[in-house]
Structure 1
Amino acid sequence: MASKEPKLPKHHYIPVFYLKQWAGSGKVTAFRRLHDKVVATPKPPTHTGYVRGLYWLEGAERSLANRIETLLMGQIDNNAAIAHRMIMNDQIHSLSKVVRLAWSRFIVGLLIRSPATVKNIYDRMTNPTAKEYKELSREFERDFPGKKYKDISPLEMKRAAMFSLVKLMQNPQVEDMLNSMTWTVYDLGLPELRFFTSDRPVIMTNGLATKNGHLALPLSPRKMFFAFANKDIQAEIKALSPWHIADQANEVVIRSAIEVAWDTNASRLPYVEKFLSKDAADDRKFFGP
């Protein structure tokens, strides 16, 4: 009797350490739309926010096929967990350059590492526009002399998409831009208010390179990380009431979710039903217009 192929490993596009912040009772509540209805399901953080084999290098030996997860994603998440713990402990203004870089890289990763983005990279490589085809052909023929882009097999294309993801995850230009901004943490301070998170949790109302550029990320149900391009936009945000910040942040996070949002319990299911994934198709303008 033939033995079963072992399951591919879980690859968390939303890390467990991050989701644990919403797991006060040991479980988070995952909201997902099934057909025309949103369902709320309690799950341990280890059992949600993942796809098996998401970053798997198909065709490689099993000992090598998981290297993107173990050498890149795992390292990013381990370092980010340290940064997150320090930020939650009110050490944001004393972070070392190494820790700030780790946190910046984590934020960039959250924008890129989702299943939808992985699929989009692969789809654009297999069905590029005329302009993209020229660029991809030039890069491919530079990296693989004697080969033509049009002759790449589907398996090679999938692996190339994974390596493109790796390059995007390590973007010094974006990391430097984030590191140059003013970082702060906002605490709602009211037990009746809390933030959601989702599979697209990074909030950007302006591109980072714009005059009033700023970025936000829920750190926990009560705390939000902010990065500001200047003091004026920082003062403008700080002047808002906790109710306004919670309302605005939650609507963006829920509307932007690709498939899944998370909360501490299911009590806000009607709210999620109203907004979940309404803006999921919108692309992010990271650098500005």
Structure 2
Amino acid sequence: MALSNNPSHDHHFVPVFYLENWADPHTGKVTEFKKRYNGVLPRLTAPKGTGYKKFLYDSDDGSAVSLEASFMMPADTHAAEASRLMLASRVKIDWTQRQRSGWSRFMMGMLLRHPEDVAELARLVDDDWTNLSQTMQDRYYQYREPEMPSTAEEWWEQNRSEFREKARLKWHRDLIDHKGIGRRLNSMSWNVANVTDSKHILLTSDRPVIINGAISDRDVSIMVPLSPTKLFIAVRDEKTLAQITGESPTQLVARVNRQVVANARSFVFGSDARYGEFIKKHFATSNESSLMQKLAEKRRLERLAKQPTPPR
């Protein structure tokens, strides 16, 4: 089979379609800012040449189907359709369910698909799959076939790695495609702000989703840069939207850029290098835990709560 027909081993945690919105129309390249040994430095690159890690969404032992071709690529295709619609439309968009779900999945993905998220999830799954629980032992003996190992412990040692990897990839997909959160995102009021009149242009990063408040809050807002001149804004309350759009375009862009750059972990992107000093000053300065870290901590606390209290 020709190599071009195989799924790429470069798994993008910043989708190519998204970075293309910052590409120079003449060169097709974006300006990547990355922290290196001698500081945060710019580099011109094609959107395809950045924001990826090899084999990021594969199973470690090859025992499970990779998420890249089975989930991430189709999800990015649907998100790209929604992105094009927002960038092209000049009037209120009549969203289809697929388009809304595609963009909601994109936002969840950008909160959960970074290499740090993959590593955090792997640690979480390792903690859950270290020991054979009593429930699993009971079920093993209940359904054991004659050709299977005589003890649950032996069976566990033979299969633990495969089960762990399948569980990790399934959890990752289910978190990004979370039905409950997806419905909440879909039900919000979606808007696109044109900030062409700003003195600045929008930047983006590997953590471009800005959430102010909890998803269930009445005054929650979610913002995502769409391009150098367009900003996605989701709200529940029109008063919240009025407060955001009541800022001058210059003030709004400056605020969004600070948050997007501060949230960055590996990369910041722009259409050129003009904001180099600003990016160096604010790069990865946010100490807020990622969504995956918050979920992992919640899971660890739940696990601790289930442990039996030692006798006194």
User: Could you tell me the TM-score, scaled by structure 2's length?
Assistant: 0.79
- Are the aligned partners of 2:198 and 2:250 in contact in 1 as well (CA < 8 Å)? no
**Is 1:58–1:65's contact at 8 Å kept on the other side of the alignment?**
no
How many angstroms apart in 2 are the aligned matches of 1:59 and 1:244?
Answer: 49
Task: Give the CA deviation at 1:125.
Answer: 2.4
Q: Secondary structure at 1:183's aligned position in 2? A: strand
Shift of 1:119: 0.5
The 5 Å alignment of 1:226-245 reads 226-245=233-252
Query: Which deviates more from structure 2 when the two are superposed, residues 141-150 or residues 235-244?
Result: 141-150
CA distance in 2, matches of 1:141, 1:226: 49
Q: In structure 2, give the amino acid aligned to 1:124.
A: L
**Cα shift at 1:205:** 1.6
**Deviation at residue 17 of structure 1 after TM alignment:** 0.7
Code of the aligned partner of 2:18: Y
The match for 1:213 is 220
8 Å Cα contact 1:92-1:183 kept in structure 2: no
Question: Residue 30 of structure 2: which of 18, 23, 28 is its match?
Answer: 28
Local SS of the residue matching 1:93: coil
Report the CA distance shift for 1:180/1:191 in structure 2 as closer, same or farther (over 3 A): closer
**Separation in 2, partners of 1:203, 1:243:** 18
Matches within 5 A, 1:1-289: 9-24=9-24, 25-35=27-37, 37-60=39-62, 65-66=65-66, 68-90=67-89, 93-127=93-127, 151=157, 153=160, 156-190=163-197, 192-279=199-286, 282-284=289-291
Residues 73, 143 of structure 1: alpha-carbon distance in 2 compared, 3 angstrom cutoff: farther
| 1:50-88 Cα shifts (integer Å, max 9, x gaps) | 101000123337xx743x111211110011111111111
| Further displaced range: 259-268 or 151-160 | 151-160
Q: Deviations over 1:180-228 (max 9, x none)?
A: 1111001112264211110000011212111210101110011000100
Amino acid at match of 1:255: A
Give the C-alpha shift of residue 137 in structure 1. 5.3
Normalised by the size of structure 1, how large is the TM-score?
A: 0.85
C-alpha displacement of 1:155: 6.0
Give the direction of change, closer, same or farther, for the CA distance of 1:16–1:138 in structure 2 (3 Å limit): farther
Q: Contact conserved, 1:125 with 1:161, CA < 8 A, in 2?
A: yes
Post-superposition shift, 1:154?
5.1
Paired AA for residue 252 in structure 2: I
Amino acid in the other structure paired with 2:57: Y
Equivalent residues of 1:208, 1:229 under 8 A apart: no
Q: Deviations over 1:119-149 (max 9, x none)?
A: 0111222246xxx989x95897799877679
**Could you tell me how far apart the structure 2 residues matched to 1:110 and 1:279 are?**
16
Runs of 5+ in structure 1 lacking a partner? 1-5
2:111 and 2:156 map into 1 onto residues whose CA distance is 29
Q: Name the stretch that deviates more: 47-56 or 202-211.
A: 202-211
8 Å CA contact 2:200–2:254 kept in 1: the answer is: no
Q: Which has the larger radius of gyration?
A: 2
Separation of aligned partners in 2, 1:21 and 1:169: 23
Identity of aligned residues (%): 26
1:157 positional shift: 3.1
What does the per-residue CA deviation read over 1:258-285, in whole Å, with 9 as the maximum and x for residues that have no partner?
1111011112111111010011552347
Structure 1 CA distance for aligned equivalents of residues 84 and 70 of structure 2: 22
- 1:193 is paired with a residue whose SS is coil
Alpha-carbon distance in structure 2 between the residues aligned to 1:168 and 1:214: 21
User: Aligned AA for 1:47?
Assistant: G
- Aligned position for 2:147: none
State how far apart, in whole Å, the 2-side matches of 1:139 and 1:114 are: 33
Change in CA separation of 1:74 and 1:8 when aligned onto 2, cut-off 3 Å: closer
